Amino acid sequence: MIEFLEKEHIYLIDGVIVPSVSEILHFIFPDKYKNVDIDTLTKKAEYGSKVHEAIECIEQESDMPELDENQKFSIRQYLRLKEKNNIQVQIQEQMIHFKGQYAGRFDMIATVNNELCLCDIKTTAVLDEEYLSWQLSFYELAFKSMYGNGFEKLHAIWLPKGNYGKLVEIKRKSISELLSKLEEFKENISNGFIK
């Protein structure tokens, strides 16, 4: 059973703490946000969270949160991409794990132009495709281990603030690359290099 403790941002599998995909990504990209001050990071995270929440509400046909003009623009871009690419959301915000070794929560599984895809919503000014390649590939590996199947494609639904949205296909990492990086991460934890 997977649990997530929101306040501590900790995943538990059968009561045991396991690393998150975010922690593994921080290990792979340790300097990703080093030149960004904490206030800016917090504002960007809040902006992105609100856009994610609004998209969930659209797909669940529930009441929308209050949005500012930029967020409303991002939502209009999402709806445009949804129509243009025939995006039909199947599952949103599901927790998954890879054999009890790491856990995470993906944004959505959707058919995109009639192909089953794993999608991540990004509101960043610049789309980091290498970061997304690792992120979505780790999610796909976990999903495959739990359900036995993967996806035809991996996609970013990119909704940059105040700019036109794009659907971007993301190249996947090989299983050997993922397992090698996971072992490297675990070795660093056991040697005390990561706390």
Give me the pLDDT at residue 166, please.
96
- In this structure, CATH architecture of domain 20-190: Alpha-Beta Complex (3.90)
Report the C-alpha gap between 103 and 195 in whole angstroms.
17
Give me the pLDDT at residue 192, please.
63
Domain boundaries, the chain: 20-190
**Is the Cβ–Cβ distance between 8 and 166 less than 8 Å?**
no
For the chain of 195 residues, list the mean pLDDT of each consecutive stretch of 10.
85 91 92 74 84 93 90 94 96 94 96 97 93 97 94 96 92 96 89 56
Give me the pLDDT at residue 46, please.
87
Q: What order do you get walking across the sheet with 88-98 strand by strand?
A: 88-98, 102-112, 115-122, 153-158, 166-170
Report the C-alpha gap between 139 and 97 in whole angstroms.
8
pTM: 0.91
Give me the pLDDT at residue 167, please.
97
Beta strands in 37-125 (DSSP E): 88-98, 102-112, 115-122
CA 63 to chain centre: 23
